[in-house]
């Protein structure tokens, strides 16, 4: 597909979980559109690979566990010593195991929710004050159709993403009188490594629910995120943008 041009010159973006999948493609598109990009990811090996692949003087990466507020707060302060934070993409997330709720490992439940929901909260809490100070910001929270529909045998993931949707609506309203837009995107299954964390049966069940009859392409997702992150998005906030190939219609 042909990429639409966006202008992110003189903008600084933080992309969590940016070392692979959606996050890596978003970081690449931002860089190609003139932005300075900071990737936060918990995997140092994947960060090294992404740094070599992106190979840009406008790229910085930090090993950050977004589920730990003190780490997020520390690296936020490091960033704003040198520049404002204009864009935040809360993309870091894990699916967790495929299991029925009554058999779900309690510690894994906490881990999935901590990363998918608390990670989003932590980044917003630390970064929003800088956006308020500068009266500019674009926040995109990567949720999932699982947060709208609920996926069987993925209750922790569904709960975490549902929470991220609720957080988006609340924060968007809190910041509605400022030039700060907060939106969520709810993709269906996409061709990323996150599918490797699921059983083949679970993946096939996901695919069977998509009227388009295929998984989402990463570039299609990135285009939507870029528009929501751009100055062109002057009105939409506290909203949920579906990109599920027709699976969800609300």
Q: Point out the residues that are catalytic.
A: 157
Other CB atoms within a 10 A radius of the CB of residue 129 amount to 12
**β-bridge partners, 43:** none
Structure tokens belonging to residue 98? 């495929």
- Residue pair 36/12 in contact (Cβ under 8 Å)? The answer is yes
Integer Cα distance of 53 and 198 in angstroms: 26
Show Cβ contacts of residue 208 under 8 Å, excluding neighbours closer than 6 positions.
none
Tokens of 99: 């299991």
Pairing state between β 137-142 and 87-90: parallel
Q: Tell me how far CA of residue 238 lies from CA of 157, 166, 169, 175, 184, in angstroms.
A: 21, 9, 4, 9, 8
């Amino acid at each position: 597909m042909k990429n639409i041009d966006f202008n992110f010159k003189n903008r600084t973006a933080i992309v969590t979980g940016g070392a692979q999948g959606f996050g890596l493609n978003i970081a690449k598109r931002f860089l190609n559109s003139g932005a300075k990009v900071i990737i936060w990811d918990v995997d140092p090996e994947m960060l090294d690979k992404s740094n070599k692949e992106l190979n840009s003087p406008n790229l910085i990466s930090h090993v950050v566990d977004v589920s730990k507020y003190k780490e997020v707060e520390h690296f936020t302060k490091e960033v704003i010593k040198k520049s404002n934070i204009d864009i935040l993409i809360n993309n870091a997330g894990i699916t967790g195991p495929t299991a029925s709720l009554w058999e779900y490992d309690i510690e894994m439940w906490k881990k999935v929710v901590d990363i998918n929901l608390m990670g989003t909260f932590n980044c917003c809490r630390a970064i929003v004050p800088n956006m308020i100070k500068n009266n500019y910001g674009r926040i995109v929270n990567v949720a999932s159709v699982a947060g709208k529909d609920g996926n069987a045998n993925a209750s922790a993931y569904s709960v975490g993403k549902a929470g991220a949707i609720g957080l988006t609506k609340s924060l968007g309203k809190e910041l509605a009188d400022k030039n700060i837009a907060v939106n969520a995107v709810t993709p269906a299954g996409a061709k990323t490594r996150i599918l490797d964390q699921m059983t083949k049966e679970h993946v096939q069940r996901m695919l069977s629910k998509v009227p388009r009859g295929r998984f989402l392409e990463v570039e299609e997702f990135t285009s939507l995120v870029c528009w929501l992150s751009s100055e062109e998005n002057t009105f939409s906030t506290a909203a949920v943008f579906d990109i599920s190939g027709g699976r969800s219609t609300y």
